[in-house]
Amino acid sequence: MGPFSETLNILHAPNATGKSTLFEALRRALLDSHRVKSKELEAVRPWGRVLSPSVTVEFTHGGETYRITKQFLDKPMALLERKEKGRFVRLFEGHAADEEVQRIFTKNPSAKGLTRFQNWGLAQILWAPQGDLSYTQLTGDVIEDIQSFLDVQVTSGSDEGIEKRIEELYHRYFTPGGKLKSGKDAPKLVSLIQQLEGAEERYKKAVEEQAQYEDLIKKVEELRAKRSQYKQNAEEANKALETARLKVEGYKKLVSEKMQRKAKLEALDAKYLEMRQRIDTFESVKTELMEVRETLSKYEEDLPLREKELKDRQQKLEAAKEKLEKVRDRREEISKLHEKLGNVQRFLRNYEKLRELSSKVKMARKIQGNLEGLKKKISTLVAPDAHVLKELYKTRREYQNALSYGGPSVTVLDFIPELEGAIEIKRGTRTGEFRVIPGETITIKGIPDIEVYYKGVARIKISGLSLSTRDNEKKLREAEKKIQKLTKPFGTDDMEVLEKRREAFERISREIFETETKLKSLLEGFSSLGAMEKELLKAKKTTESLLKRYPEWSKNPPNVEALKMEVANFNRLFSEELGEAEAEWELAQTAFSAAKSALAGLASKIEELNKRRKNLEVKYSEMVETWGSFDNMMKTFKKLALSLETARSSLEEIEERLVSYGEDPTQIIAKLEDQLRLADELSQKALEEEKNMEGMMAQLASMGTYTQLAAIEEEKAKHEEEIRQEQIQVDAVSLLYETLVQVRSETLSGLVGPVERIATKTLHRIAGGKLNQVKLGESFEPSHIHPEVSETPVTLDNVSGGEREQIYLATRLALAEIIAKKERQLVVLDDVLTFTDAGRFARILSVLEEAAQKLQLLVLTCHPERYQGLSEAQFIDLEAIRFSA
Amino acid sequence: MRFLHTADWQLGMKAVHVGDAAETVRETRLKTVEKLLKVAKDKKADFILVAGDVFEDNAVSRLLVQRVADILSKSKIPLYIIPGNHDPLVPGSVWEHPAWEKCKSVRLLTEDAPVEVPGGILYPCPIKEKFSKENPTAWIPRETGEDKIRIGLAHGTVEGIQQDEVAFPIPKDAASKFGLDYLALGHWHSTAIYEDKEGVPRMAYSGTHETTKFGERDSGNVLLVEIAEKGATPVITQVRISELFWRTVEYEIKTPGYLPELRGRIEDFDYSERILLNVKLSGLFYAEEVAEIKRIEEILSSRFLYGRLDLSDLIPAPEDKNWIESLPAGIIRETGERLKGICESRKGSQPSPDIAARALMELYMLVMGISK
C-alpha cells in the first residue's frame, strides 16, 4: 500500500482485518532483526499455512529512497536497497541490513529483540502500540538522543566511564539504598568496626582484671598490716598475762587468810549475838514487867473518876431530853396558826364570791324579767312570717295581673280629710281602719266598688263598671279570696301594716335572742339562775359559819399577809429552838456513851494488865533459873565483845591488802587470755584471707593482666586508626558520589524543562488549563501533573484514563517534535485514544494536524469517522486494499 | 669507681599508636637491655645501677619477668635495682617472682638501708607504692665520716619539673644535701644532669634506654659514671644505645615540589627498618603531585618499622587549576568544582573540607587513571 503522505495518514479498517499485523510488520521491518523468533511473530504467520511472514517497506531518509525487505522464521533474509538512478540497488544484506535500518530509525542499533520495550530505541517514543500510549523510563541511549537533539552536552563518552567508575566505587561500599554494605560484600570498614567492638569487649574485661589485680594488691597490703597489728596485740597480751599470773599467786594466799579470819569472826559474832539476845530478852522482860505494874496502878486510880464522870453525863443527858420534849410540844401551836390562816383565806375567798354572786343574781333577775316581758309582747303580736308574706306578695301580683288583663275596672277614690279621725274601708283593694290626718290624701281603690265608712261623717259607696271576662274574673276572685285567706289571721290586708308587723316581730325576736345571750353569759358556770342562787346561798352559809367562829372579822376583816408573816416567824423560831435542843441532846448522848465506853475499856485493860503482869513474873523467874543472874551474864558479854573487836580488825587489815590489788587478778587473766586468743584467731583469719588473696593475685599475675591489657589497647588503637582512615575513604567516596548525583540531577532537570513546557502547552490545547503542568522524570517519562487546584504535584494515578492517555500523547508529541528537529520522523499510533471524549478528540485532531507539519503520522484505527475532521489527512482503507488484492 | 647508670626500661609497655610495630617496639626494649649489659662489659663498669621502673607494670606477663631475669642473670657485672613507681614493691609485684631467687647478678634493693658496692656505699631508695608525695631520699644519712664514695639510687621527680601533682619529690640539692658523690635518678625518660652549687654534676636522670613515644626528647641513653674518689667530680659520659628512632616530620606545604622532595628524603633514610616515622602535612596540595602521595605511602609501609602519613590538614591548592581543568567538562567537572568549593570552606563546616579534599583526590585519580 502507499505511498503514504508525508504528513498525516489514517489507515482504517474494521477489527480483524490486519491493522495490528501491519503495525507489527512495520516494526519488524524497521526495528528488528530478520532472524528474530518470537511468539508475537509466530502469531503473524497465516493460519494453517506454512508460509513465512515477509515485509517490504520503502522509505526516504536524508533525501535518499530506501527499500527494506525482510523474511522471518523460515529462510529468514534481509535486504536493504537504495534507489539510485530510478532503480533499487542492493546496499546491505542480512544482519548489516538490519543494523543499518535500525540506525536510521532508532539511532542506536540494538542486537537484542523487540520483545522488550527497552530495545525499541527512538521508537519507544515514536511508536505507540495498540491502545497504549503510556511508557515507563526511557533507556539511556534514547535519553542521550533527546539530550543531543536539545543541543545540551551532559556527558561525553569518557564521562560515562568515569561516572560508572564512581558508581562502582560507591557501590563497593554502599547498597543501592545508600546504606553501608553488610555480609560478604561488606567493605573493610564494617569488619574493622566489628573487630573493634570485639576488642572493646575484651578491653573491658582486661581493664576489670587489671583493676581487680590492683585492688588485690591493696587488700593484701591491708591484710598484712592488720596481721602485723594482731601479732603486736598478741605479744602485748602475753606480757600482761605473765605479770598478772605472778600477782595472782600472792592474791590467792591473801584470799585464803581472809577466809580463815572471816570464819573466826563469824563464829565470835554468832556467840556475841546470842549473848546479846539473852541480855536483851532479860532487859526486855524486866522493863515490860515494870511498865505493866506502873500502868496497872495508874488505871486503878482512874477507875472511880471514870464512874463519877459517867453519872454526870447521864444527868446532863436527861436534862437535854426534857428540854427537847418541851420544844417539840410547841408544834400544836403551829398547827393552829396554819388552820387559822386557812380559814382566813377561805373566808376571804368566800366573801369575794358572795359579793360577786349577789351582783350577778341581781342582774340576772332583771334580765330574766326583761326577757319575760319581750316574750309576752311577741306572743301578742300577730304578724305574718316570711313565707306568708312571700305568698301574699305573689298572690297580689296575680291579682294585679288579672286586673291588667282586662279585668274589672278599677275605681279610685282620693279621700282628702279635713279633720283628724279614722275611717274604715269596707270594700276596696285594701280594707280596714285607717287613721286620717288633715290634708293627707288617702287613695282608695276598688274593683270595681268602694265602700268607706267615716264615722260620724258619712258612709261613701262608689260602684264601678266590670268589663272582665269570666275566666279572668275567676282568677281575680280566686286571688282576692286567697288574699283574704292569707290576711285574715292578721285582721288586715294592708301590706304596709303587715310589713311593719313583720318588722316588729323580727326586732322583738332579735331582742329576745340578745337578752337570752346576755343572761347565758351572766350565768356562765351555772346551769340556771336557780343554780346560781343556790350557790349564793351556800356561800352565805359558809360566811356565817366563819363569822360565828371569828366574830371580830365581821367588823375588821382579817389580814392574810400579816397572818402569813406571823406563821413564818413562828416556824423559823420553832425550827431554831428545836435544832438547838436536838443538838444539845445528841451531844449529851455522845458524851454519855463515851464515858460509858471509857469506863468499860478501863476495866477491861486493868483485867488484861493483871494477866500480863502474872505472865511476866513467871517468865522472869524462869530466865533467872535457866541463865543465872543478870550481872554474871553481863560480865561474860563484855569479854566476848573484846574478842570480837580483835577478830574484826584482823579481817579488815587483810581486806585492805586485797583492795590494793584492784580488780581480781584472776579475772584479768581470763580477760587477757581472751584477748590473746582473739588476737591469734584474727591473725590466723587474716593470714588465711591473705593467702587466699595472694592466691587470686598470683593467678591474675600469671595471666599478665597488664600485658593482656596492653595488647588489647594496641589492637584497639590499631583498629581505631584503620577505621579512621577507612572512614575518611568511605566518607570521601560517599561525598563524591552524592555530589555527582546531585550535579547530574540538577543538569537533567534543566533538560526536562523544555520538554515539559511543550507537553504542557499541547495538553492545555487538548484539556484546557485544569491539569496545568506536566512534570517529567529524569528519563522523560510523565511522572506527575500539577493541577491548578493542588498545592503539590499529583501522580498520574489520580487522573482519569482519558486524561492519562492525553498526557502521554502530549509528551510523546513533544519529544517527537524535538527528535524531528533535524529530520522528519515517522510516528505510528495504533488504535490509541480510546478513552478520550469527542470534545477533546476534536481538539486532538488540530494538534495532530499541526504536528504533521514536522512529523509523518501514521494512525491505525477502526473508527475512521473520528478522524474525518482531518481534511489534509490521507485516508487508506485497508479492507478495500485487501479486497482489491 | 665506674658504673653504668640506667633506668626506666618500662619493659612490657604498651605502644598503642604504632600499629603492628608495637610488638617489635617491646621486643627491642628487651634487646637493648642485652645491649646495655654488653656496653657495661665493654666499658668495664664495676656495677650497674637501675633506678626503677624496670617493668611497665607489676601485672606484666610472668613470662616476660622470667625472660628479663634470664637476660640479667647472664651478666657478670652486678646490677643494683630499686623498684620504681611503675613496678613498686607491693604484694604480688614482679619482684616476688621466683625467677629473681636464681638471678645472682641482680641485687634487688627493697629497704632504705645502705649497701656496700665495689668502691663505696650505695644508699637505695626503693619505691613501695604507685604514688606518694614523700621524698624517697629523705632517709639517707648526711655524712657518716667514712672515707668511701657515697652514691644514692632513687626514683622520683626533681623539684622544678613541671607536673600537675609531683610524685616522689626529690630536692634539687639532694646529692650535696646528703653528702652524696652521685645520685642516680630514674622516673623521667629524658637524660638530664644536675650540677651542684659548685657546678659539679652530682645528680642525673639517665633517661630510658629506648625511646617510648614520638616527641620524647633526648632519650635512648645510658650514663657511664666514673668517680675517682670520695668528693671527686664525677665524670659522666652519655652513651646512646637506643635501637629504634622515633621521628616526626611536620611540614606546611606552600608551594609545589615539596612532596617529591619529601619522597626523596625518606627514600634516602638509612636504617629505615628501625625508624618509626610520623609524617604530618598541612597546607596546600597540588594535583600533579597526587601520585607522590601513593609513592610516599608505599615507602612508609614497606621500608619503615612504622610509618604514618597524616594528610587531614592538606587542602587542594586554590590556585592549582589542574584540579578542575584536568576533569572532563560537564557533570564530572562540575562535581569537581563543587568538591573543591567545599575544600576551601571553613574548617569544621559540613561537609568536612578534609573529606571533600579526599573526595576530590579520588575523583582526580579516577580521571587521571592513577590506581590506588
Residue of B16, B60, B338 with shortest CB distance to A704: B60
User: Nearest-5° angle of CA A240, CA A242, CA A245?
Assistant: 110
| Residue appearing with cell numbers 498526557 | A807
Interchain proximity A162–B328, CB inside 8 Å: yes
Residues B172 and B212 in one domain: yes
Tell me which residue of A200, A190, A191, A189 sits closest to A712, measured CA to CA: A200
> Strands A450-454, A421-427: parallel, antiparallel or unpaired by DSSP?
antiparallel
Q: Estimate the crossing angle of helix A630-659 against helix A188-329, to 10 degrees.
A: 160
pLDDT for residue B47 is more than 60: yes
pLDDT at A153: 46
Interchain proximity B335–A158, CB inside 8 Å: no
pLDDT at B309: 93
- Give A 162-181 residues with CB within 8 A of chain B: 162-163, 165-166, 169
| Cα–Cα dist A821/A123, whole Å | 16
Residues B96 and B160 in one domain: yes
Percent of chain B at pLDDT exceeding 70: 99
List of residues 6+ apart from B155 with CB closer than 8 A: B7, B51, B52, B53, B82, B83, B84, B85, B125, B127, B136, B168, B185, B186, B187
Q: How many CB pairs under 8 A join A and B?
A: 145
| Cα–Cα dist A676/B152, whole Å | 44
Q: How many C-beta atoms lie closer than 10 Å to residue A351's C-beta?
A: 17
Choose from B86, B96, B326, B335 for mutation: most chain A CBs within 10 A: B335
Which residues of chain A lie closer than 8 angstroms to B16, CB-CB?
713-714, 716-717
Is the CB of residue A482 less than 8 Å away from at least one CB of chain B? Answer: no
Residue of A166, A709, A747 with shortest CB distance to B366: A166
How many helices and strands, by DSSP H and E, does chain A display?
20, 18
Residues A630-667 pLDDT 10s: 888 888 888 888 888 988 998 998 888 888 887 778 88
pLDDT at A207: 95
List of residues 6+ apart from A608 with CB closer than 8 A: none
- Give B 316-335 residues with CB within 8 A of chain A: 328-332, 334-335
Percent of chain A at pLDDT exceeding 70: 94
| Cα–Cα dist B199/B233, whole Å | 10
Domain boundary among B178, B212, B240: B240
ipTM entry: 0.92
Judge contact between B125 and B136, C-beta under 8 A: yes
pLDDT at A769: 80
| Cα–Cα dist A310/A250, whole Å | 83
Residues A35-46 pLDDT 10s: 887 777 777 776
The 8 Å CB, 24+ separation contacts for A168-175 are: A169/A733, A169/A736, A169/A737, A169/B362, A169/B366, A170/A733, A170/A734, A170/A736, A170/A737, A172/A733, A173/A730, A173/A733, A173/A734, A174/A734, A174/A737
Mean pLDDT of A790-809: 86
Residues B121 and B176 in one domain: yes
Domain boundary among B240, B260, B294: B240
Residues A129-153 pLDDT 10s: 888 888 877 776 677 777 767 655 4
pLDDT at A754: 80
Domains in chain B, number:
2
Q: Estimate the crossing angle of helix A705-767 against helix A838-851, to 10 degrees.
A: 100
Residues B252 and B232 in one domain: no
Interchain proximity A736–B22, CB inside 8 Å: no
| Cα–Cα dist A744/A741, whole Å | 5
pLDDT at A404: 67
Residues B236 and B334 in one domain: no
Is the CB of residue B14 less than 8 Å away from at least one CB of chain A? Answer: yes
Give the H/E segment covering residue B223: strand B221-226
What is the SS3 assignment for A834?
coil
Residues B252 and B227 in one domain: no
Tell me which residue of A826, A830, A814, A819 sits closest to A857, measured CA to CA: A826
Give the H/E segment covering residue B250: strand B245-253
Choose from A169, A172, A209, A740 for mutation: most chain B CBs within 10 A: A740
Residues A689-741 pLDDT 10s: 999 998 998 888 888 999 999 999 999 999 999 999 999 999 999 999 999 98
- Give A 217-256 residues with CB within 8 A of chain B: 217, 220-221, 224
| Cα–Cα dist A433/A454, whole Å | 10
Interchain proximity A710–B12, CB inside 8 Å: yes
CATH number, domain of B189, equals: 3.60.21.10
Judge contact between B99 and B66, C-beta under 8 A: yes
Is the CB of residue B310 less than 8 Å away from at least one CB of chain A? Answer: no
Mean pLDDT of chain A: 86
Domain boundary among B196, B219, B240: B240
pLDDT at A206: 94
Tell me which residue of B22, B11, B35, B10 sits closest to B242, measured CA to CA: B35
DSSP B194-219: EE-TTS-EEEEE--BSS--STT--S-
Interchain proximity A735–B356, CB inside 8 Å: yes
Residues A53-106 pLDDT 10s: 889 999 888 888 999 999 988 888 999 999 998 899 999 999 889 888 888 877
Interchain proximity B16–A717, CB inside 8 Å: yes
Which residues of chain B lie closer than 8 angstroms to A701, CB-CB?
58-59, 62, 92
Which is higher by pLDDT, A371 or B33? B33
Judge contact between B36 and B214, C-beta under 8 A: no
Interchain proximity B91–A711, CB inside 8 Å: no
Mean pLDDT of A734-755: 85
Mean pLDDT of B344-358: 86
Which is higher by pLDDT, A50 or B215? B215
Residues B86-118 pLDDT 10s: 999 999 999 999 999 999 999 999 999 999 999
Residues B303 and B215 in one domain: no
Which residues of chain A lie closer than 8 angstroms to B308, CB-CB?
721
State which residue of chain B sits closest to A742, comparing Cα positions. B335
| Cα–Cα dist A191/A182, whole Å | 9
Is the CB of residue A541 less than 8 Å away from at least one CB of chain B? Answer: no
- Give B 137-196 residues with CB within 8 A of chain A: none
Which is higher by pLDDT, A188 or A882? A188
Sign of the Cα torsion A68, A119, A104, A882 reads positive
How many helices and strands, by DSSP H and E, does chain B display?
8, 17
Interchain proximity A705–B62, CB inside 8 Å: no
DSSP A7: S
Enter the C-alpha cell of residue A855. 512529523
Interchain proximity B339–A165, CB inside 8 Å: no
pLDDT for residue A47 is more than 70: no
| Cα–Cα dist B321/B326, whole Å | 8
| Residue appearing with cell numbers 627498618 | B273
Tell me which residue of A370, A371, A488, A365 sits closest to A431, measured CA to CA: A488
Mean pLDDT of chain B: 93
Residue of A156, A728, A739 with shortest CB distance to B358: A728
- Domain borders along chain A are 33-113
Rounded to the nearest angstrom, the minimum Cα separation between B333 and chain A is 9
Q: Is A326 exposed, middle or buried (0-12, 13-18, 19+ CB in 10 A)?
A: exposed
Which residues of chain B lie closer than 8 angstroms to A188, CB-CB?
none
State which residue of chain B sits closest to A734, comparing Cα positions. B359
State which residue of chain B sits closest to A223, comparing Cα positions. B91
Percent of chain B at pLDDT exceeding 90: 84
- Give B 67-106 residues with CB within 8 A of chain A: 90-93
Q: Is A660 exposed, middle or buried (0-12, 13-18, 19+ CB in 10 A)?
A: exposed
Burial B253-273 (b: 16+ CB within 10 A, else e): beebebbeebbeebeebeebe
| Cα–Cα dist A748/A153, whole Å | 11
State which residue of chain A sits closest to B18, comparing Cα positions. A718
Residue of B14, B63, B338 with shortest CB distance to A714: B14
| Cα–Cα dist A711/B25, whole Å | 12
Is the CB of residue B61 less than 8 Å away from at least one CB of chain A? Answer: yes
Rounded to the nearest angstrom, the minimum Cα separation between A685 and chain B is 18
Domain of B226 in residue numbering reads as: 2-240
Interchain proximity B91–A154, CB inside 8 Å: no
Is the CB of residue A211 less than 8 Å away from at least one CB of chain B? Answer: no
Residues B254-308 pLDDT 10s: 999 999 999 999 999 888 899 999 999 999 999 999 889 989 999 999 999 999 9
Rounded to the nearest angstrom, the minimum Cα separation between A114 and chain B is 32
pLDDT at A745: 79
Enter the C-alpha cell of residue A670. 581470763
Residues B14 and B84 in one domain: yes
Tell me which residue of B19, B329, B294, B145 sits closest to A716, measured CA to CA: B19
pLDDT at A490: 85
Give the H/E segment covering residue A9: strand A8-12
Interchain proximity B92–A213, CB inside 8 Å: yes
pLDDT at A409: 65
Residue B170: strand pairing partners: B158
Residue of B14, B342, B360 with shortest CB distance to A713: B14
pLDDT for residue A120 is more than 50: yes
pLDDT at A194: 92
Residues B235 and B249 in one domain: no
Rounded to the nearest angstrom, the minimum Cα separation between A716 and chain B is 8
Is the CB of residue A778 less than 8 Å away from at least one CB of chain B? Answer: no
Residue of A728, A732, A739 with shortest CB distance to B338: A739
